[in-house]
Amino acid sequence: MAYALQQLINGISLGMIYGLIAVGYTMVYGIIGMINFAHGDIFMISAFIALIAVILLSLGGLMDGPAAILLVLVISMAITALYGWTLERVAYRPLRGSFRLAPLISAIGMSIVLQNYVQVSQGARVKPLEPLVPGGIEVMRDGAFVVQFSYIQMLIIAVTLVVLAVFTILVTRTPLGRAMRACEQDRRMAALLGIDTDRTISLTFVIGASLAAVAGTMYLLRYGVIDFYIGFLAGVKAFTAAVLGGIGSLPGAVLGGLLIGLIETFWSAYFSVQYKDVAAFSILAITLIFLPTGLLGRQEVEKV
């Protein structure tokens, strides 16, 4: 019981990070119908920006307390958002009228460009960061087994929930959100009705990138080891989460992320550790056989 509870805590905090990245995939897919393969690398860049921010703040003697961590988060979100905007402007907008595969290839190209850019500018070795948020609380005790809920895990869960709540309100309750949903349904019609679709798409990338930055910062604080290649694995897992939850659906992305995190964790907990990815992807495949649009995906209505 205590063991399962500990693994549940592990699974949720891992799944939250996947969910945050998955939201970026799903938003972009929803609005322009393409898979942004460079999204994992945007996440990677945000972790590097957060690390640089931590180092600069430490040099200034300011890296102390929750306010400093919040500042790191804001810096990372702001600069990563700029990367997201630039990415769309440079690599995707010029190809908007082109055939379907063009932006996809462009995305793969950008993924390689971003990876190599970080590899060249920051070096290929792993960058470590000592734990900034140590400690935790004892949730329960079962004999010698102590269920530990660390502060960083709490921080990840709390920040993820707050950020997701804010962005859900943004999408459902604001004029920008309405414009985004309009573009998602029918971009040409939205344009005819006076919505600046280019601006709306840009803002979607900005939002997706800043969510990835939240994930990147949390990742850095939690694991403390980053390199230019982390975006690939995290991106693949998050993309899987988005597909599992139903690509195009915001709550689906979060649900998918949580599920992937939990499946991986519980498989490692009770079965073989090295086959956890096999387990996660098998469940994805089985789900897609019975629910081709994912768990919360809508049936696509072909407009005639």
Beta bridge partners of 142: 145
Span from 48-56, 92-100, 128-136, 289-297 in contact with another protein (CB under 8 A)? 128-136
Which one, 29 or 219, has the nearer CB to another protein?
A: 219
What are the backbone angles phi and psi of residue 6, rounded to the nearest 5°? -60, -45
Residues 1 and 103: their CA atoms lie apart, in Å, by 49
225 binds another protein (CB under 8 A): yes
Span from 76-84, 131-139, 189-197, 210-218 in contact with another protein (CB under 8 A)? 131-139
Residues 142 and 263: their CA atoms lie apart, in Å, by 24
Q: Note whether 45 and 83 are within 8 A (CB).
A: yes
DSSP state of 247: T
Which one, 150 or 293, has the nearer CB to another protein?
A: 150
Q: Which of residues 263-282 bind another protein (CB under 8 A)?
A: 264-266, 268-269, 272-274, 276-277
Which one, 109 or 128, has the nearer CB to another protein?
A: 128
Among 61, 138, 175, 300, binds another protein (CB under 8 A): 138
144 binds another protein (CB under 8 A): yes
10 binds another protein (CB under 8 A): yes
Among 126, 162, 165, 193, binds another protein (CB under 8 A): 126
What is the residue-wise DSSP string for 197-210?
HHHHHHHHHHHHHH
- What is the three-class DSSP state of 292? coil
Q: Half-sphere exposure of residue 225, counting CA atoms within 13 Å on the CB side?
A: 3
Which one, 177 or 224, has the nearer CB to another protein?
A: 224
Q: How many other C-beta atoms are found inside a 10 Å radius of the C-beta of residue 170?
A: 14
State the minimum distance, in angstroms, from the CB of residue 180 to another protein: 32
115 binds another protein (CB under 8 A): no
State the minimum distance, in angstroms, from the CB of residue 60 to another protein: 21
- Identity of the amino acid at 9: I
State the minimum distance, in angstroms, from the CB of residue 198 to another protein: 37
Q: Are strands 145-150 and 225-226 parallel, antiparallel or unpaired?
A: unpaired
177 binds another protein (CB under 8 A): no
Among 116, 128, 174, 185, binds another protein (CB under 8 A): 128
117 binds another protein (CB under 8 A): no
Task: State the chain's maximal CA–CA distance in angstroms.
Answer: 67
Could you write out the three-class secondary structure of 53-83?
A: HHHHHHHCCCCCHHHHHHHHHHHHHHHHHHH
Among the listed residues 152, 115, 119, 128, the one whose alpha carbon sits nearest the alpha carbon of residue 55: 128
Which one, 60 or 143, has the nearer CB to another protein?
A: 143
As given in the structure block, the two tokens for residue 87 are 């990415």
Among the listed residues 163, 201, 226, the one whose alpha carbon sits nearest the alpha carbon of residue 23: 163
158 binds another protein (CB under 8 A): no
As given in the structure block, the two tokens for residue 104 are 């996809």
Size of the site for another protein (CB under 8 A): 39
Span from 67-75, 77-85, 145-153, 288-296 in contact with another protein (CB under 8 A)? 145-153
Which one, 102 or 155, has the nearer CB to another protein?
A: 155
Instruction: Give contact residues for another protein (rule: CB under 8 A).
Output: 3, 6-7, 10-11, 13-14, 125-126, 128-131, 134, 136, 138, 144-146, 148, 150, 152, 219, 223-225, 229-230, 233, 264-266, 268-269, 272-274, 276-277
